[in-house]
Structure 1
């Protein structure tokens, strides 16, 4: 009987993967910690600790289930530090006849494995069944469409899955989307719930020491690490969210707080993207809470849409268009990443707090990413490669299949409207409306000109002016370009000069891709990422 090596990747920690459930009794199951996966961008120490700890706990569970498991630790003396090489080395060690793996979520690994399939030791990829929509299913949905819109895909997925649908397959509440109910700023009297605490066990503590030794110079801190590293912990987080946060999630999902990093958000995306939770059980839990009268429909629908709609949609976009999608830069943005993205050293309070929360938790919720760090990068003309790599590095839930379309397409509009219908650009007025940052800021959000004027305001108008040729024909931007065209020449000139003065003094970091860009920045400035 042939003996396969079953490779489990760090984002495939799901107990009922087909590659596992269909494995013969003599199979060897292998998991690898390798330097390459921690350094292709400088991942946040909490992200690396989360994945390594979850992998070690998953290996322990597999052994308890009777699997023969090989686990390569990062500091093993014979570790090749490359995933492909390590898999082939271990296959030889156990006299395996082939290597089997669930299809990777990222193109770079998928492409490398594809190129090994004709090797003397063959590789086989098994379809990943952990999504509502298969890659083939999305391709069929997309076929013949000139433009893709998430809302159309989401409605199709609702009908396909039956989630929040009635017996006639119509949407519950007679609406597909309750987004108009979900844009309330955070009221002062509400105090959001604290997330459950996960005390690091011996395995996690060992991993944290390892990560501090090997990756401690990366942006971020391990202090306060509190992520679920087992399925049991992830299910506990899900239950806590459903009971304590989901009832308010809909109303306040777009709100931003100066002091509370998590608000009513689920903090489940890391566990979902690593495989500790399946999306169907998460969506089903939210629907059940609505059916039981425990949460309003706008909360249940808004949450389910993030997973059933947006998460599935961006994965489909990613695989439909890679690898060319990653090279898109339709607005010709070429500025380097602002240096303070690594330090938080800025007087702009909204950016400072978003970056500090990212440093401390490897987390910022979707509006902080889209409308604060993302919006600022869009307005400044930061290159897609620079911002995409930063997001991929610093967030615990960031894997390229979900991060790249969100950043390149939605945040930076670098795909020319392929994914989203308009750029999500905004002045300081939006941040003032949705957060309490501005009252703590040295800049005046109501001013556009002068030393104390909020930089977002002049940058906003400069962005519109700079990209007028590409954007003025967009129907959703007709109104704002009408305002720009009515503006006096003197005012436009003053806003332009204000924006250019700000951009001229904006320090940038080197381009990504060399592996030591952050260390180089620290040597130049004397500023560390911690």
Structure 2
């Protein structure tokens, strides 16, 4: 490797896009840098599988670039231990290699974008280096277009945004009409898994990447982590593996994806994956492009001869083309103030079982244990079990954010924060959701078999054996009545509440208060 380069190009761990224009031509005067950095491993406590997956994917990507003829340096924690952040590291490399200019792809997290844009780099002769920011060429809505779709502190209906995306990218369209003359099939996609359905759930496609060396580095440099680690990493860490997982999903999971996308079960060895694609890590690290995933799924749908119904493919497309792009737009339209929003003034601390799964609430136990075991839970487990619990009990959104950001393999701040602080916790006051996604135990019972095996009784609202979600739900709704009573989506529940006897109301509120005061023992 030459010691002198004209240009240094930094590649972050979530910028593993092999189709980026940077790589279309080989230039020996350009040095690509991919670096493990303590700053990125410790800005929150990450799941051990998340750390290993990102570091492994970075290492594989560096190797692939090198093999294709590019000048690449892959720096490990051993190499970067003396550097506090990227600007320090980049400045060192610029002096070491006598670099004249620096280029970086725009980070997707606010903290890193601020850090990059705040860089002041000097050459060996102390003159200022040229620093250039380029697009990641990944998202469908351009960074400079976000303001065309989103306004700060304003709610934008996701469904309308989704329809614009369908039209703009001609996805599942016939002219200017949606295929099937219906935009959204969400109402068809809320089935509970019956015993026979559980038997038919396909075993997930798993990988076996050896990450022993990465784990040893994490231990050597005292990087804190949470969760469990299998002998080999089960997640895809190359583009080829990601494409394998995409093909597996289209072949084996897509035919039933929409139908059971909201379902949960603790009664299957495949409960943690069910019919979900588990492609979010591959997409969020940019090993796969969102349109590539959408087009591949639609291709399978069109060739399936009716085995994949329209409602299955539409539900999948909506998650990527609609929700993912929408959430990213909300993030950038509202940062940095968004991260401090706490509209419900939630101040409780997360109970300790969020790190152990040691709770008598079976839905929480199953969802948290799965998260600790696999760094993964699907959207309903995140929203309507752990998220709902945090909402009802008034957990500080800063703590909820930190837990979700750390524990899930696909969690980067741009996607995690609006989903958590907005959709799940209503801490943004309605920028993402027009109502608080609060629910009692009945919803969980409707969508899962968790309640059947629980210590608590789903039908009871009061007393020691009553499902905590039941009283907590009413406690939350009464506590925030002034805010939600006039909301047309949930205001009617107060009429149900008002019909109850005073003594019944008092008993429910007392049970809710007891649960909040005794969170650790639930």
> CA–CA distance in 2 between the matches of 1:78 and 1:144?
39
After superposition, residues 1-400 of structure 1 pair within 5 angstroms as 3-21=6-24, 24-76=27-79, 79-116=82-119, 120-142=128-150, 147-166=155-174, 168-190=175-197, 191-201=200-210, 204-214=211-221, 218-223=225-230, 225-258=233-266, 259=268, 260-293=271-304, 294-400=307-413
Which residue of the partner structure matches residue 491 of structure 2? Answer: 478
Relative to 1, partners in 2 of residues 1:138 and 1:76: Cα closer, same or farther, differing over 3 Å?
closer
Answer yes or no: is the 8 Å Cα contact 1:45–1:211 preserved in 2: no
Query: TM-score scaled to structure 1, two decimals?
Result: 0.92
> CA–CA distance in 1 between the matches of 2:399 and 2:151?
32
- The RMSD of aligned alpha carbons is 1.9
Shift of 1:444: 0.2
Shift of 1:142: 2.9
Shift of 1:197: 2.7
Which has the higher mean CA deviation after the structures are superposed, 112-121 or 149-158?
112-121
Shift of 1:460: 0.1
> CA–CA distance in 2 between the matches of 1:328 and 1:143?
16
Deviations 1:158-203 (A, max 9, x none): 000001001x2210011000001100001211231122231224xx
Shift of 1:446: 0.4
> CA–CA distance in 1 between the matches of 2:172 and 2:347?
43
Shift of 1:88: 1.9
> CA–CA distance in 2 between the matches of 1:345 and 1:96?
53
Answer yes or no: is the 8 Å Cα contact 2:42–2:223 preserved in 1: no
> CA–CA distance in 2 between the matches of 1:177 and 1:499?
37
> CA–CA distance in 2 between the matches of 1:84 and 1:149?
39
Answer yes or no: is the 8 Å Cα contact 1:185–1:434 preserved in 2: yes
> CA–CA distance in 1 between the matches of 2:272 and 2:155?
35
Relative to 1, partners in 2 of residues 1:95 and 1:213: Cα closer, same or farther, differing over 3 Å?
same
Deviations 1:66-112 (A, max 9, x none): 11111111123764252221122122211111221110010000011
Answer yes or no: is the 8 Å Cα contact 2:257–2:276 preserved in 1: yes
Which residue of the partner structure matches residue 419 of structure 1? Answer: 432
Deviations 1:294-351 (A, max 9, x none): 4111110000100000000000010011000111111111111121101111000000
Give the match's secondary structure for 1:133: coil
Query: TM-score scaled to structure 2, two decimals?
Result: 0.93
> CA–CA distance in 1 between the matches of 2:68 and 2:187?
48
Answer yes or no: is the 8 Å Cα contact 1:409–1:419 preserved in 2: yes
| Number of residues of Structure 1 aligned to a counterpart in Structure 2 | 505
> CA–CA distance in 2 between the matches of 1:117 and 1:83?
12
Deviations 1:235-288 (A, max 9, x none): 000000000001000100000011411100000000100011110010001111
After superposition, residues 405-484 of structure 1 pair within 5 angstroms as 405-484=418-497
Shift of 1:222: 1.4
> CA–CA distance in 1 between the matches of 2:182 and 2:154?
26
> CA–CA distance in 1 between the matches of 2:230 and 2:5?
46
Answer yes or no: is the 8 Å Cα contact 1:10–1:55 preserved in 2: yes
Shift of 1:127: 1.5
Shift of 1:118: 7.5
Shift of 1:144: 10
Give the match's secondary structure for 2:474: helix
Answer yes or no: is the 8 Å Cα contact 1:165–1:172 preserved in 2: yes
Relative to 1, partners in 2 of residues 1:250 and 1:211: Cα closer, same or farther, differing over 3 Å?
same
Give the match's secondary structure for 1:189: helix
Give the match's secondary structure for 2:79: coil
- Structure 2: unaligned runs, 5 residues or longer: 123-127
Relative to 1, partners in 2 of residues 1:70 and 1:27: Cα closer, same or farther, differing over 3 Å?
same
> CA–CA distance in 2 between the matches of 1:78 and 1:400?
24
Answer yes or no: is the 8 Å Cα contact 1:35–1:74 preserved in 2: yes
